[in-house]
Every structure is written in C-alpha cells, then in structure tokens.
C-alpha cells in the first residue's frame, strides 16, 4: 500500500491518502467498537475521545478513558488532544503539532485521516515490539481489517481462537446422606 503521507515523527498538516488507503482506514475504524456511532469521521474524531477509544481498544493500559470528555468547545477539544499528545502519543513514539490538532478540531478535511493513518502504523509497531517472539504470537496486526479478539482469518472468514482442551474431572465418591427427618406431630 503506497501512501503520500510523510514518515516524520511529528504528525504535521494533513496529507492526502490514496483512495485505497482511505478505504482501508475506514474499514479498520468500522471494525473497532466505539461508544458513539460513526457518522462523520472528521466530526466524530474532533474532540479526541474516539481516538482515545481506538487506542484503548488495542492497548487498554496505555490510555485512561476518564481523562477525555466529549466536548463541543474548541478549548475542551484542544485540551483532550493535548492530553493525548502528551500522555499517550509519546508512549507510542510520536507526537503531533498544535497546527495538526487545530485542523482536527476545526474538522478540516484530511487532518484526522492523516493522524489516524499514522496512529495505526504506530500502534502496529508498538504492539509488535511488545508481542512475544515465540511461535504463539498472534497472527493479526493492527493493519488488518479484522481486529482482535478474532485470532486468525482463514479464507477471508474470521476463525475464533481454539478452545483449550478440558481436563477430565476425577470422580468423587458419593457421600451417603441421612434419611430426611420426619416432622413430629404437634
């Protein structure tokens, strides 16, 4: 997948994604359960709450959702984005500029897509670094349209993870019970 996005560490002004990359990004976002319905990408992600939920979906320990409140004011939206930038994006290995955050808050076309594209790559890289190197590593990646908890995809159809074999329970000897007590007549 070729993109026209830059690979610099700070996410800067909006760079246009190819139609294939945009479709892939939208499919990725649609596969993630969010607290609010997804209607307009620019508006839905403008306050930073949905972005925090996306990160929380893949890395629950990385983001505290209670730090981000749904907002309509520009000041609160910028506060949410600044908090994400300082507390979460740095842990993922990138930061974004104030201009990029202002573009997202102002619902400028392409701004949120560029940030989400870079975030998707950083999440994939972050999880790959923390994934065990054994053969039991999960075969999914953030870049795939099917996010966890689906463990594998076979023939384009999701396959749930295999169930663990149950160990037989040893038989327990029956304990004799006392006969029921007969009620005394009054």
Q: What is the pLDDT of residues 39-95, one digit of tens each?
A: 999 999 999 999 999 999 999 999 999 999 999 999 999 999 999 999 999 999 999
Higher pLDDT, 166 or 170: 170
Q: For residue 131, name the pLDDT band (cuts at 50, 70, 90).
A: confident
> Is pLDDT above 70 for 186?
no
Check residue 16 and give its pLDDT.
82
Check residue 176 and give its pLDDT.
66
β-bridge partners, 152: 159
Tell me the angle at which helices 74-83 and 98-105 cross, rounded to the nearest 10 degrees: 130
Mean pLDDT of the chain: 78
Q: What whole-number distance in Å separates Cα of residue 35 and Cα of residue 59?
A: 16
Check residue 173 and give its pLDDT.
61
Q: What whole-number distance in Å separates Cα of residue 107 and Cα of residue 125?
A: 27
Check residue 171 and give its pLDDT.
60
Paired tokens of 55: 């990160």
Check residue 152 and give its pLDDT.
43
Check residue 130 and give its pLDDT.
85
Q: What mean pLDDT comes out for the span 149-172?
A: 50
């Amino acid at each position: 997948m070729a993109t026209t996005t830059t690979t610099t560490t700070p996410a800067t002004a909006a760079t246009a994604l190819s139609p294939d990359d945009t479709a892939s990004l939208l499919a990725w976002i649609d596969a993630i359960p969010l607290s609010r319905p997804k209607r307009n990408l620019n508006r839905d992600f403008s306050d930073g709450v949905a972005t925090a939920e996306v990160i929380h979906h893949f890395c629950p320990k990385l983001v505290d959702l209670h730090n981000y409140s749904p907002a309509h004011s520009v000041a609160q939206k910028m506060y949410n984005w600044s908090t994400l930038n300082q507390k979460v994006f740095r842990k993922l290995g990138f930061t974004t500029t104030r201009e990029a955050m202002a573009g997202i808050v102002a619902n400028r076309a392409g701004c949120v897509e560029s940030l989400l594209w870079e975030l998707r790559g950083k999440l994939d890289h972050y999880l790959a670094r923390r994934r065990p190197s054994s053969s039991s590593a999960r075969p999914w990646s953030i870049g795939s349209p099917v996010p966890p908890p689906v463990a594998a995809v076979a023939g384009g159809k999701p396959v749930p993870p295999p169930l663990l074999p149950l160990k037989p329970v040893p038989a327990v000897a029956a304990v004799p019970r006392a006969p029921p007590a007969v009620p005394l007549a009054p």
